[in-house]
Amino acid sequence: MADSANFELSADEMRALGYRVIDMLVEHHCTLGQKSATTVKRRDELEALLREAPPSVGCSPQEVLTTVERDVLSSIMYCTHPRHFAWVPGPSNFVSVLADALASGVNVCPGTWLESSGPSQIELIATEWLVELCGLPPGAGGIFVSGGSIANLTGLVAARQMKLGASMQGAVIYSSDQAHSSNWKNIRILGFQPDQLRLIPVDEDLRLDVGALSKAVDEDRRAGKRPFCVIATAGTTNTGAVDPLDAIADLCDAQDLWLHVDGAYGAAAILTERGRAVLKGMERAHSLVLDPHKWLFQPFDIGCCLVRDVRWLEQSFSEHPEYLQDTRDKMDMSREVNFCDRGVQLTRAFRALKLWMSIKVYGLDKFRSAIDQGISNAEHAQRLLQEQSNFEIVTPARLGVVTFRFRPPDCPAHDLNQLTRLVFDGIVADGYALLTTTIIKGQTVLRLCTINPRTSDDDIRGTIEMIGRVGAQCYSTGTSTYE
Ligand SMILES: Cc1ncc(COP(=O)(O)O)c(C=O)c1O
């Protein structure tokens, strides 16, 4: 490597390194389905492989890439794997992967218009595409952030600013007990006390109980508190349930409450006919979160917060220090946008590029059918599970999520949670597919999230056969092979 005080590589060195990285990526994408869905190494194994003092003198990048490929990227859950059904998979697409390389390679920072007018224009267009797809009114707008958690934080900051102003005293915020924990974490980060969050119970279908919500708001008002915001979920992480958005929006209108809809998991389903039917009312949100790195098939990290009047974000986040004066003085701020005024970050990545490029290259119809496929995959899994006497469905397929248990007819109910944990360990040890467990109404269950359009019918069938096999072994031996 050239010996100088800067980091330059020769053009040939850059090309060689770049082509090697591309070759690694293409190889990875083309052989993914043949690999184990997950590999977890122990800390001591990884310490032995990777621990060293930071080298004073470097080595060839090819050598470093070999280590990365062999010892680092081999010890992960492959989130794009066709049989990765855990939590929410990240089934990214290759065009967006390269868009990320471009954004990073040029080192674009769309914090201000002055720095990045072209990229800021792309972010405006891409966020406004989402505004339109979600049915928010003209004047709505948003920002791309790192993911659903920070998108939820962005929406709640706007809710606090617009509804409470300077004082959080006595304020109350409501969500169901099935809301994503990032919302609860955000409420804590924002400085609310634990008793300022009220968890509302859910109905039989695990959707927020609007009657209970209405009662809680009335009670709090009578007690002199300040109800100000309801968090509704458009596709819960546990079961894909969608809260009754229209009824919640009616209550929020009547009670002058901010409606924050966390659609990090499910909102993208609005592109499909089946999704539109269950997400009705989502367009009435004051703030709405989508997570393109989930069901819009983008590589990590990109989340999105939209608000129905984009000035709310600017009123919540703008700061105008003297060292940024040129970013406003030299611009026509009635037309141009400094995205740093819409969120927490000043220096930020050009996340919009990947979503914009992939929608341009593939077209929205491809996204629609890919999302629809994810919904169908869970229904297919449910049908296969129902054909077998050793499985019981706990919650039916909803927006790409189905939960169930391995339950041999003679297995006593009180042993089921323990058996499910064993079956999970056995699944991890098997490696053919990866899914996770959760707890529904006190029961430990297995959960499949099937949003990856690479998943074939055979992948689903093979996965259920594998779980049946592993389940039978765990049940007969009382152990799993996973240590
Ligand atoms: C409903 C919901 N909200 C928020 C999040 C958090 O998103 P992220 O992990 O992108 O921060 C998730 C993640 O699964 C989610 O399912």
Establish whether residue 182 lines the binding site of ligand 1, counting it when its CB lies within 6 angstroms of any ligand atom: yes
Kindly report the backbone phi and psi dihedral angles of residue 323, in degrees, each rounded to the nearest multiple of 5, phi listed first.
-75, -5
Q: How far is the CA of 180 from the centre of ligand 1 (A)?
A: 7
Which residue reads 């009824």 in tokens? 247
Which residue reads 């917060």 in tokens? 305
Establish whether residue 302 lines the binding site of ligand 1, counting it when its CB lies within 6 angstroms of any ligand atom: no
Helix (H) or strand (E) segment spanning residue 25:
helix 11-31
pLDDT score recorded for residue 480: 76
Euclidean distance between CA atoms 14 and 34, whole angstroms = 31
Establish whether residue 403 lines the binding site of ligand 1, counting it when its CB lies within 6 angstroms of any ligand atom: no
Establish whether residue 301 lines the binding site of ligand 1, counting it when its CB lies within 6 angstroms of any ligand atom: no
Closest by alpha carbon to 403, among 263, 240, 265, 277?
240
Q: How far is the CA of 92 from the centre of ligand 1 (A)?
A: 16
Q: Which two tokens stand for residue 69?
A: 């490929």
DSSP 54-110: PPSS---HHHHHHHIIIIITTSSB-TT-TTB-SSS-----HHHHHHHHHHHHHT--T
DSSP 264-321: TTTGGGGGSHHHHHHTTTGGG-SEEEE-TTTTT-PPSS-EEEEESSTHHHHHHH----
Pocket test for ligand 1, best of 85, 243, 291 (most atoms within 8 A of CB): 291
Buried b (16+ CB within 10 A) or exposed e, 436-468: bbbebeeebbbbbbbbbbbbeeebbeebbebbb
Pocket test for ligand 1, best of 88, 185, 239 (most atoms within 8 A of CB): 88
pLDDT along the chain (483 residues), means of 10: 80 96 96 91 97 96 96 94 97 98 98 97 98 98 98 98 97 98 98 98 98 98 98 98 98 98 98 98 98 98 98 98 95 94 98 98 98 98 97 98 96 91 94 96 97 97 98 90 52
Through-space distance between the first and last CA atoms of the chain, rounded to whole angstroms: 44
* Full-model pTM: 0.97
The SS3 call for residue 205 is coil
Which residue reads 């998108």 in tokens? 151
Q: How far is the CA of 469 from the centre of ligand 1 (A)?
A: 32
Q: How far is the CA of 24 from the centre of ligand 1 (A)?
A: 29
pLDDT score recorded for residue 3: 62
Establish whether residue 149 lines the binding site of ligand 1, counting it when its CB lies within 6 angstroms of any ligand atom: yes
Say which residues have a Cβ less than 8 Å from residue 409's Cβ, sequence separation at least 6.
389, 390
